Amino acid sequence: MGKKIIDNVKQFFKENYKYLCILLVILILFQYELPYKIYTPGGMVNLSDRISVEGGSTSEGELGMAYVSMVRGSIPFLLLSYIIPDWDIVPESEVTYSNQTFEETVKADQIATQQSVDSAIIAAYREAGEEVHVYSEKVNITYIDDGAQTDIQLFDQIIQIEGESISSTAELRAVIQNYEVGDTVHLKVLRDDEEKDCTAVVYELNGSKVIGVSITVTYEYDETPAASIEMKKSESGPSGGLMMSLAIYDALVEEDITKGKKIIGTGTIDINGNVGAISGVKYKLIGAVKQKAEVFLVPVDNYEEAKSVKEEKGYDIELIPVLTLQEAIQSLAEL
């Protein structure tokens, strides 16, 4: 019996070895990645499924967070990108830093996501006139430049720089401007729950004085009524901030700011309600149209690109450029 099975297997491979070899090559091609990624049109996250506000109101319409889809840079996908419209190849160096591993980039993006969630809630509560108290700021190091002369490590938390506390990139830059190129500044950081004394040398980069680090600030706060935003591990980055903040605000106030419409958008946000630029607006707009959105909210700095895509493709969707959360709410009220 065993010999018969072995003979049948041998016969099968003998008759089909060409097809099996082709299948094996295809599998290898899909597994082997070149240093590229492929941007493709994304979709939306319906925020009513992700946001919870104690005693919050509901809306007839939808508020959606636009996202970009990314495909691995395997050879078959790269070849498909030359056939499928709006599949665009980008070098991996454009989506990851050269001196960071992919895992480190993912962790930095997750911190940026947490900043986005924190800022969205704080900004929405302030705009709605509800109670929110920010009692702690965590200044996280999320990037260190190749040219930096420092013993700071990635994901340290800055406690002080030259005895001064900071809570934003602007404040960090302001402190550094007080020093000359070549000066050494002293920092106190938190690393693995231990305080460490570190130094960094000021140098010039693109015409500005820097110490070669980028920071992402997250917050600890209390809000009343209680709110929460659920994010999946696969969702990272700060670009959903505006829409999360609008959805929180919509739940806090009595009026329905959607007016029954399907509204999708994108944009970063800070705790003061300022809306910032994002990347990949083309793919987010295409995804929003596929989701049959009636309105697309876009940061002012991305508006011209979005407008160009809309006109090129003949989309019937209303584009609204916004600079602040307050401006976004006012624009929706005028629909």
Residue 266 belongs to domain with CATH number: 3.30.230.10
Residue 58 lies in a domain: yes
Are residue 269 and residue 139 in the same domain, yes or no?
A: no
| Local confidence band at 156 (pLDDT 50, 70, 90 cut-offs) | very high
Q: What pLDDT, in 10s, does the model give residues 257-305?
A: 999 999 999 999 999 999 999 989 999 999 999 999 999 999 999 999 9
Question: Could you identify the residue written with the tokens 């996250």?
Answer: 45
| 16 within some domain | yes
Q: Which residues contact 305 (CB under 8 A, 6 or more apart)?
A: 281, 282
Percent of all residues in the chain with a pLDDT value above 70, rounded to a whole number: 88
Mind giving me the DSSP string for 221-280? EEEES-EEE---TT--SSTTHHHHHHHHHHHHSSS-TTTT-EEEE--EE-TT-BEE--S-
* Domain containing residue 157: CATH number: 2.30.42.10
**Same-domain status, 184 and 232:** no
Residues of the domain holding 7: 1-29
Considering the domain architecture, whether residues 205 and 235 belong to the same structural domain is answered as: no
Residue 169 has pLDDT above 90, yes or no: no
pLDDT of residue 150: 94
Partnered with residue 298 across adjacent β-strands are 321
Residue 85 DSSP SS3:
coil
- Quick one: which H or E segment has residue 134? strand 131-144
Same domain for 234 and 212: no
| Whether residue 179 is found in the same domain as residue 304 | no
Which one-letter amino acid corresponds to residue 110? Answer: Q
Q: Tell me, what's the pLDDT at 41?
A: 84
Q: Is 83 within the bounds of a domain?
A: no
Mean pLDDT lowest among 10-14, 55-59, 153-157, 330-334: 10-14
Sign of CA dihedral 264, 270, 271, 274: negative
- Whether residues 157 and 125 share a domain: the answer is no
204 assigned to some structural domain: yes
Element (H, E) at 333: helix 325-333
pLDDT at 155 over 90: yes
Count: domains in the chain = 3
CA–CA separation, 172 and 160 (whole Å): 10
Question: Tens digit of pLDDT for each residue in 229-250?
Answer: 998 877 777 899 999 999 999 9
Would you state the pLDDT for residue 26? 61
Burial classification of residue 203, based on how many CB atoms lie within 10 Å of its CB (0-12 exposed, 13-18 middle, 19 or more buried): middle
Q: Is 216 helix (H, G, I), strand (E, B) or coil?
A: strand
| 199 and 288 together in one domain | no
In this predicted structure, the answer to whether residue 20 has a pLDDT above a threshold of 60 is no
Residue 183 burial by Cβ neighbours in a 10 Å radius (0-12, 13-18, 19+): middle
102 occurs within a structural domain: no
168 domain-assigned: yes
Among 217, 237, 261, the domain-final residue is 217
Share of the chain above pLDDT 90, in %: 59
> How far apart are the C-alpha atoms of 294 and 279, rounded to whole Å?
21
Which of the residue ranges 8-12, 122-126, 175-179, 263-267 would you say has the lowest mean pLDDT? 8-12
Residue 85 within a domain: no
Residue 310 CA to residue 289 CA, distance in Å, equals: 10
- The residue with greater pLDDT, 84 or 239, is 239
One domain for residues 124 and 270: yes
* pLDDT value at 114 more than 80: yes
Q: Which of 191, 217, 243 is the last residue of a domain?
A: 217
Residue 62 is predicted with a pLDDT of: 95
Residues 6 or more apart whose CB falls under 8 angstroms from that of 193 comprise none
Does residue 234 form part of some domain?
A: yes
Residues 171, 185 within the same domain: yes
Judge if 122 and 242 occupy the same domain: yes
Last residue of a domain, one of 217, 238, 273: 217
DSSP letter at 288 equals H
For residues 329 and 241, membership in a common domain is answered with yes
Does residue 179 sit in the same domain as residue 256? no
Model pTM?
A: 0.84
**If pLDDT is split at 50, 70 and 90, which confidence band does 327 have?**
very high
